[in-house]
Structure 1
Amino acid sequence: MSDIMRPIPFSNLMNWILSEYKSQGSIFGVSKLVRHDNGKALPMFKEKIESPYGPAAGPHTQLAQNLVAAYAAGSRFFELKTVQIMDGDELSKCVAKPCITADDECYNCEWSTELYVPQAFDEYVKGWFACKLLAKELGLGDPDGFVFNMSVGYDLKGIQSEKIDKYIEGMKDASGSAVWQECMDWALNNLDKFQNVDADYMKGISPKVSNSITESTLHGCPPDEIERIATYLITEKNLNTYVKCNPTLLGYEFARKTLDGLGFDYIAFDDHHFVEDLQWADAVPMFQRLMKLTAERGLEFGVKLTNTFPVDVKAGELPSEEMYMSGRSLYPLSLSLAGKLAKEFGGKLRISYSGGADYYNIRDLFNAGIWPITMATTVLKSGGYQRFSQIGNLLMDIDYGPWAGVDPAKVEGMVTAFASDNHYQKPMKPLPSRKTDKKVPLIDCFSAPCRNGCPIEQDIPAYLMRVNAGKFEEALEIITHRNALPFITGTICSHRCQDKCMRNSYEESVYIRTQKLKAAEGGFDALLPKLKPGAPVAGKKVAVIGGGPAGMSAAYFLGRSGVDVTVFERKDSLGGIVRHVIPAFRISDEAIDNDVKLMNAMGVKVELNTEVKDVQELFGKGYTHVILATGAWEKGSAGLEYGQEMNVIEFLENAKKNPGSLNLGKHVVVIGGGNTAMDAARAAKRIPGVESVSLVYRRTKRYMPADQEELEFALEDGVEFRELLAPVGVKDGVLTCHVMELGAPDASGRRSPVDTGKVAEVPADTVITAVGEKVDTALYTANGLEVDKRGKAVVNADTLESSVKNVFVIGDGMKGPGTVVEAIADATKAARAIENFDVDTYVDKNVNPDYQKPLSRRGDLCADCKSSSEIRCLGCATVCETCTEVCPNRANVAVAVPGMRQRQIIHVDGMCNECGNCGTFCPYDSRPYKDKFTLFWSEEDFQNSENQGFLKLDGTKTRVRLDGQVKEYDVADESCGLYDPLRRLICAVYDNYSYLLK
Structure 2
Amino acid sequence: MGKTTGFMEHGRIEEGHQSVAERLRHYKEFVIGLDEDQARVQGARCMDCGTPFCSHGCPVNNIIPDFNDLIYQADWKGALEVLHSTNNFPEFTGRICPAPCEAACVLNVNDKAVGIKSIEHAIIDRAWQQGWVQPRPARHPSGKKVAVVGSGPAGMAAAQQLARAGHGVTLFEKNDRVGGLLRYGIPDFKMEKSHIDRRIAQLQAEGVVLRPGVFVGSASEGLGKGSKVGNAAKETVTPEQLYAQFDAVLLTGGAEQSRDLPVPGRGLDGIHFAMEFLPQQNKVNAGDKLKGQLRADGKHVIVIGGGDTGSDCVGTSRRHGAASVTQFELLPRPPEEENRPLTWPYWPIKLRTSSSHEEGCAREFAIATREFVGDKGRVTGLKTVRVQFKDGKLVEIAGSEQTLPADLVLLAMGFVGPVAPVLDAFGVEQDARGNARASTEPDGGYATNVPKVFAAGDMRRGQSLVVWAIREGRQAAHAVDRFLMGHSELPR
Query: TM (normalized to structure 1)?
Result: 0.38
User: Which residue is equivalent to 2:462?
Assistant: 816
| Whole-angstrom CA distance in 2 between matches of 1:706 and 1:640 | 32
User: Is it true that 1:619 corresponds to 2:204 in the alignment?
Assistant: no
2:252 to 607, 625, 629: 629
| Whole-angstrom CA distance in 1 between matches of 2:426 and 2:118 | 42
CA distances 1:588-642 after superposition (whole Å, capped 9, x unpaired) = 1122223323433432221222222222211212x10111111122232022222
| Whole-angstrom CA distance in 1 between matches of 2:137 and 2:257 | 35
| Whole-angstrom CA distance in 2 between matches of 1:693 and 1:737 | 16
User: Which residue is equivalent to 2:45?
Assistant: none
Q: Equivalences for 1:10-409 in 2 at 5 Å? A: none
1:728 to 370, 379, 385: 370
Q: Is the 8 A contact 2:371 2:382 kept in 1?
A: yes
Q: Is the 8 A contact 2:303 2:409 kept in 1?
A: yes
User: Which residue is equivalent to 1:666?
Assistant: 299
How far 1:580 sits from its partner (Å)?
A: 1.2
Given residue 695 of structure 1, which amino acid in structure 2 is its aligned partner?
Q
User: Is it true that 1:452 corresponds to 2:56 in the alignment?
Assistant: yes
User: Which residue is equivalent to 1:200?
Assistant: none
How far 1:540 sits from its partner (Å)?
A: 2.0
- Could you tell me which runs of 5 or more consecutive residues in structure 2 were left unpaired when the two chains were aligned: 11-48, 218-237, 286-291, 337-346, 375-379, 482-487
SS at match of 1:652: helix
| Whole-angstrom CA distance in 2 between matches of 1:592 and 1:465 | 28
User: Which residue is equivalent to 1:828?
Assistant: 474
Q: 1:590 to 1:708 in 2, by over 3 A?
A: farther
| Whole-angstrom CA distance in 1 between matches of 2:352 and 2:203 | 29
How far 1:800 sits from its partner (Å)?
A: 1.1
User: Which residue is equivalent to 1:679?
Assistant: 312
User: Is it true that 1:787 corresponds to 2:430 in the alignment?
Assistant: yes
Q: CA RMSD in A?
A: 2.8
Q: 1:638 to 1:706 in 2, by over 3 A?
A: farther
User: Which residue is equivalent to 1:895?
Assistant: none
1:500 to 100, 104, 114: 104
How far 1:756 sits from its partner (Å)?
A: 0.8
1:803 to 449, 455, 461: 449
SS at match of 1:542: strand
Q: Is the 8 A contact 1:487 1:594 kept in 2?
A: no
Q: 1:566 to 1:821 in 2, by over 3 A?
A: same
Q: Is the 8 A contact 1:532 1:603 kept in 2?
A: no
Stretch deviating more after TM superposition (519-528 or 724-733): 519-528
Q: 1:610 to 1:708 in 2, by over 3 A?
A: farther
| Whole-angstrom CA distance in 2 between matches of 1:776 and 1:736 | 30
| Whole-angstrom CA distance in 2 between matches of 1:563 and 1:837 | 13
Given residue 382 of structure 2, which amino acid in structure 1 is its aligned partner?
L
How far 1:807 sits from its partner (Å)?
A: 0.8
User: Which residue is equivalent to 1:224?
Assistant: none
User: Is it true that 1:700 corresponds to 2:305 in the alignment?
Assistant: no
Q: Is the 8 A contact 1:668 1:767 kept in 2?
A: yes
How far 1:753 sits from its partner (Å)?
A: 3.6
User: Which residue is equivalent to 1:286?
Assistant: none
User: Is it true that 1:754 corresponds to 2:406 in the alignment?
Assistant: no
User: Which residue is equivalent to 2:484?
Assistant: none
Given residue 795 of structure 1, which amino acid in structure 2 is its aligned partner?
A
Q: 1:713 to 1:625 in 2, by over 3 A?
A: same
SS at match of 1:818: coil
CA distances 1:787-811 after superposition (whole Å, capped 9, x unpaired) = 1232221112221111112111111
SS at match of 1:510: coil
Flag the structure with more relative contact order, 1 or 2, with Cα contacts below 8 A and sequence separation at least 6. Answer: 2
1:775 to 409, 418, 429: 418
How far 1:579 sits from its partner (Å)?
A: 1.1
1:649 to 253, 275, 283: 275
| Whole-angstrom CA distance in 2 between matches of 1:653 and 1:612 | 21
Q: 1:818 to 1:553 in 2, by over 3 A?
A: same
User: Which residue is equivalent to 1:996?
Assistant: none
Given residue 702 of structure 1, which amino acid in structure 2 is its aligned partner?
P
SS at match of 1:701: coil
How far 1:706 sits from its partner (Å)?
A: 11
SS at match of 1:734: strand
User: Which residue is equivalent to 2:35?
Assistant: none
Which one has the largest radius of gyration? 1
Q: Equivalences for 1:432-581 in 2 at 5 Å? A: 446-524=50-128, 525-529=130-134, 531-581=135-185
Q: 1:597 to 1:514 in 2, by over 3 A?
A: farther
Given residue 728 of structure 1, which amino acid in structure 2 is its aligned partner?
R
User: Is it true that 1:765 corresponds to 2:389 in the alignment?
Assistant: no
SS at match of 1:456: coil
| Whole-angstrom CA distance in 2 between matches of 1:561 and 1:717 | 45
| Whole-angstrom CA distance in 2 between matches of 1:641 and 1:456 | 43
- Could you tell me which runs of 5 or more consecutive residues in structure 1 were left unpaired when the two chains were aligned: 1-30, 33-382, 391-444, 747-751, 841-998
2:354 to 703, 712, 735: 712
SS at match of 1:661: coil
| Whole-angstrom CA distance in 1 between matches of 2:350 and 2:359 | 14
User: Which residue is equivalent to 2:32?
Assistant: none
| Whole-angstrom CA distance in 2 between matches of 1:656 and 1:494 | 22
Stretch deviating more after TM superposition (671-680 or 609-618): 609-618
How far 1:539 sits from its partner (Å)?
A: 4.3
Moved over 3 A (4+): 703-710
How far 1:663 sits from its partner (Å)?
A: 4.2
SS at match of 1:482: coil
How far 1:729 sits from its partner (Å)?
A: 1.4
Q: Is the 8 A contact 2:454 2:480 kept in 1?
A: no
| Whole-angstrom CA distance in 1 between matches of 2:405 and 2:348 | 23
| Whole-angstrom CA distance in 2 between matches of 1:594 and 1:466 | 25
| Whole-angstrom CA distance in 2 between matches of 1:495 and 1:814 | 22
SS at match of 2:409: strand
SS at match of 1:786: coil
Query: TM (normalized to structure 2)?
Result: 0.74
Q: 1:482 to 1:833 in 2, by over 3 A?
A: same
Q: 1:587 to 1:810 in 2, by over 3 A?
A: same
Given residue 283 of structure 2, which amino acid in structure 1 is its aligned partner?
K
Q: Is the 8 A contact 2:161 2:490 kept in 1?
A: no
